[in-house]
Amino acid sequence: MKISDAKVIVSCPGRNFVTLKIFTDNGIYGLGDATLNGMEKTVATYLESFCIPALIGKDPRNTEDIWHYFYRGSYWKRGSVTMAAISAIDMALWDIKSKVLNTPLYNLLGGKSREKILVYAHANGKDLDDTLERVGLEKDKGFIAIRVQSGVPGIPDAYGVSKDTRFYEPAHKGLPQEEYWETSKYLNFAPKLFERVRKTFGEDIHLLHDVHHRCTPIEATRLAKELEPFHLFWLEDPVSGELQEGLRLIRKQSSTPIAIGEVFNSVYDYTTLVTEQLIDYIRMPPVHGGGITHLKKTADFASIYHIQTGFHGATDLSPVNLAATIHLNLAINNFGIQEYMPHQDRVHEVFKINYQFKDGYLCIDDTPGIGIDIDEEKASEYPYSMASLPVNRKTDGTMFYW
C-alpha cells in the first residue's frame, strides 16, 4: 500500500481551517487537521512545498516511522508551524490505518476505557451579570462543567469575549488588533466573579478559568490562593508556558488545580512540569502536538505522574481534530475533561461530523477511521480570509506577554 497523492484544503466557513487529505493507491483517503490560528497559510505552504512530495510513495501504515521521518529526521525540530504539519500528516495516516482495518480509531489506541467523555462549555460575558446569564444558558443546555470568562471593569477588551457576537472567535480580520490589559484590575475582580458564580449556581457544577498567561508567578499565586474557596476544576495558563519554573511557586502555595500547554507542541515542553508534578492537566491537542502518535506518548508519560488530560478544543481547531481527540480520550486511562464549543453551522456544511453532545458528555459513533468527511465543493465556497490573534499592551503602552 502506498501514498499516491495528498492535497491541502484551506477553507473559511466563518473561520479558516487547513485540512490535509492523503490519498492511497487502494482508494482509501485520510484527513488531518493542520489549523494554526492566524498562521494557516504558513502551515499549508510547509505541507505543500516539502511534506507532500516527501510523503508520496511511502506506506501509509508506517505511522511511527513516518512521524520520525518528519520529526527526528529533520535538522530543524519543533515549532508550532512544523508540528501542526506533522500533526495533520499523522492524523490522516491513523485515519487511513483504521479505515483499512475497518474499525474506529479508538480501537487501535487501546479500545474504550469509557463510553462518553466529560466536556466543558464556555461562558464568556461582557460583565459580571452578563457572565452569570451565560453560565445559566450553558447549564440549561446540559453542561456540567463550564469555563467562566468575563469582561473586567476598567479594561476595554477581555480576550475571547466578543462585544457583538455570541460565537467564540479570538482572531480578528486582518492584522492583529491591539488590546489593553491591567493585571491589578483583573486580580481584584476574578475572585468576586467566582464568588458570585458559586453563590448563584452552587457546588454541583465544575468551574474552570483561563488566565491566558497574563500573570507573573507571584500574581498567579495570589490568584490561585484567592480562588481556592470556589473549588475550581482548574486554573488554566496562569503564567507564560515558557516559564516552567514559575509553576513551582504556585504549586507550593495553592491547591487550585493547574492546566497548561495549549501552546506546547512536544513532550519536551512538558518534562519539568510533569516530572516535578507542577500541573494537573496537559492541554496540547492532536493538531498541535504531533498528532495521535506523539500525543498518546505524552498522555502516557503524564499518566505515570498521575497527571490527567484536558486537551485544547476551541472552535479554531477543526472538527477533524475534535473527532481525533474524542477517539484518544475514549481510549486513554488518564482522561480528565475535554474542551468543547460547538462550531458554527457553516462549519458543518463543510465537515460531516460523527460526534454528538448529550447531557454534559460527547459520544462518537463507530464509523471506521476518525469518522469525519469533508465536502470539498462546499469548502471551495468559503475562500481563505486573513485573520490574526490580537496583541496585548499594558495600559501605558508596554507590549505584554501572551
Contacted entry of Mg ion, ligand CS2, none for residue 179, CB cut-off 5 to 8 Å set by kind: none
- Interatomic CA distance for residues 231 and 344, integer angstroms: 32
At its nearest, how many Å lie between Mg ion and the CB of residue 214? 11
Query: Where on the phi/psi map is residue 350: left (φ > 0), alpha (ψ -120 to 50), or beta?
Result: alpha
At its nearest, how many Å lie between Mg ion and the CB of residue 341? 12
Return the number of the residue (29 or 159) whose C-beta is nearest ligand CS2. Answer: 159
Cβ contact 317:100 at 8 Å: no
Return the number of the residue (110 or 176) whose C-beta is nearest ligand CS2. Answer: 176
Q: How many CB atoms lie within 10 A of CB 246?
A: 20
- Position 269 contacts Mg ion (CB under 5 A): no
In one-letter notation, the amino acid at residue 88 is A
Number of residues that bind Mg ion (CB under 5 A): 2
SS3 state of residue 287: coil
- Interatomic CA distance for residues 235 and 256, integer angstroms: 7
Which residues bind to ligand CS2, rule: CB under 6 A?
37, 160, 170, 210, 212, 262, 312, 314, 316, 339, 389
Cβ contact 55:93 at 8 Å: no
Return the number of the residue (66 or 282) whose C-beta is nearest ligand CS2. Answer: 282
At its nearest, how many Å lie between ligand CS2 and the CB of residue 32? 18
- Cα–Cα separations (whole angstroms), residue 124 to 128, 147, 197: 10, 8, 13
Cβ contact 91:32 at 8 Å: yes
Residues 216-245 that bind Mg ion (CB under 5 A): none
Instruction: Indicate if 361 belongs to the active site.
Output: no
Query: Where on the phi/psi map is residue 369: left (φ > 0), alpha (ψ -120 to 50), or beta?
Result: left
Contacted entry of Mg ion, ligand CS2, none for residue 390, CB cut-off 5 to 8 Å set by kind: none
- Interatomic CA distance for residues 311 and 401, integer angstroms: 22
Return the number of the residue (136 or 160) whose C-beta is nearest ligand CS2. Answer: 160
Binding residue (CB under 5 A) for Mg ion from 138, 210, 226, 316: 210
Return the number of the residue (262 or 269) whose C-beta is nearest Mg ion. Answer: 262
Which residue's entry shows cell 498518546? 296
Residue among 212, 213, 288, 327 flagged as catalytic? 212
At its nearest, how many Å lie between Mg ion and the CB of residue 237? 5
Residue among 29, 71, 120, 159 flagged as catalytic? 159
Instruction: Indicate if 159 belongs to the active site.
Output: yes
Catalytic residues: 159, 212
Binding residues for Mg ion (CB under 5 A): 210, 262
